[in-house]
Amino acid sequence: MAKLQGFEFWNKTLKAAQFVVAPMVDQSELAWRLLSRRHGAQLCYTPMLHAQVFVRDANYRRENLYNEVCEEDRPLITQFCANDPEVFLEAALLSQDYCDAIDLNLGCPQMIAKRGHYGVFLQDEWELLEKMIRLANEKLSVPITCKIRVFKEIEKTVCYAQMLEKAGCQLLTVHGRTKDQKGAMTGIASWEHIKAVRKAVNIPVFANGNIQHLSDVERCIQETGVQGVMSAEGNLHNPALFEGRNPPVWEMAEEYLEVVKQYPPCTLSYVRAHLFKLWHHTLQIHHDLREELAKVKNIEGLADVSKKLRLRCQEEIAKGKDVEEKESSLPFPHWICQPYVRPVPKEPVANGNSKGSEVKKTVCQKRALEDSDGSADTLSKNKQKKRSRNPNKNFCPDQKPKYIKCEQCGNPKGNKCVFNLCRGCCKKKAFKEVADCPSHGLRFKTKAEKQKADEENRKKDSAAETEKNSSGSPQPPPHPSPELQEQSQAHLPL
């Protein structure tokens, strides 16, 4: 049976899903996906998985996909980051029986993606991407999808999307931000880019960005014409977003912890991170419990802290403090699930002046950027700790050593690598050529020579053993000499 494509795939396999939970590193695990599905989500993605690790590490496969098979958790799309067509295909083949589609991550803008040369940092390598998608589309039994970020130019973004469609992409998720829009510079996602892509391609399109309430979902579909809307941060702060509800935080926290107990194992760090997101606004007030939540060592401890937060919030409600909360910048009291709005990025300063700078300072109380000399007063707490351990440590970006890139993948190369490669590429080359690289601790040649010497020694020992056994076997008695024969005959009786 031929696999479904495009709109047929979206309609039949994905059941025309409109409400989508985004792939989030260490955050869209099974328990969270099930919680989101119970509250309106129609399609979920796995966390982003590293294709190369997925191929080589059986434990990684079992922990991140194989042990999470659940009938309730469908439809499901598995997302990989990759930069090698063969590795991406091999990872996809290992996972295709456990999901409904394979997604290629072309949207991650974080520094780890830059170092690993994947995510949005592949968006200029169209020839490589076309090869990766075409190969996967030809070999897989499930459809291939992509999640991208936009270019500044709408025309270039449209051409990019059309190239991916032509290569074999069956569904496209467009995050309406560029690769530079992250962290403090996140800003507003461009629905104009998403709308242009939707008009230009003949496959389903999901929109991502600016989704904080169900009304945003409806407005996005109306303005852009997309088939579905994906939420990441909005979902993390309010799992009931797609239901159009803003429930008390403890309701979602307690239900999530119940799901975690029902579907173990779940990594403690994942659960802790989810509770930090859910209780974000409350933890800005109850700092002591914030510290406690960060330090507990098990699920039961996290549940206890969540219970304490609930009791404190209920005490405030009983005292009528919800009226006071109306005066804060939050649309709801802090104990209600609601989005976290990032501070507005600062406008560029022209001629040393910036309009409205005083207003922005009150809105966004962030520490100043560190001076080039890295003085202790301007360093972050983390860097101050590092400075206390190493007083000579230098944080000036201009004086940091510039890393030389690996000739094959662009990662930092080993300083004394005999091949001028990073460790991953060096390992492949050293294995292939049976060579050593002391810098990376690789001893393929040494091991091969030792193995050969051991084999020769075994052969010598075996030959010596054979010779010894042959000399020790019983031999026929030698013929007696003539003199002995005469002597023996002299003693014979007559």
Task: List, by residue number, the catalytic residues.
Answer: 108
Angle between helices 249-262 and 299-318 (to 10 degrees): 160
Strand pairing category for 228-231 and 19-21: parallel
Q: What does the alpha-carbon distance between residue 217 and residue 210 come to, in Å, rounded to a whole number? A: 9
- List phi, psi (to 5°) of 20: -125, 135
- List phi, psi (to 5°) of 77: -115, 130
End-to-end CA distance of the chain: 106
Question: Is 207 in contact with 229 (CB distance < 8 Å)?
Answer: yes
Q: What does the alpha-carbon distance between residue 32 and residue 35 come to, in Å, rounded to a whole number? A: 5
Among 144, 54, 74, which residue's Cα sits nearest to residue 105?
144
Question: Is 168 in contact with 137 (CB distance < 8 Å)?
Answer: yes
Retrieve residue 198's tokens.
Answer: 């939707």
Among 183, 154, 209, 187, which residue's Cα sits nearest to residue 347?
187
Helix, strand or coil for residue 422?
A: coil
Retrieve residue 224's tokens.
Answer: 């852009």
Q: What does the alpha-carbon distance between residue 297 and residue 300 come to, in Å, rounded to a whole number? A: 8
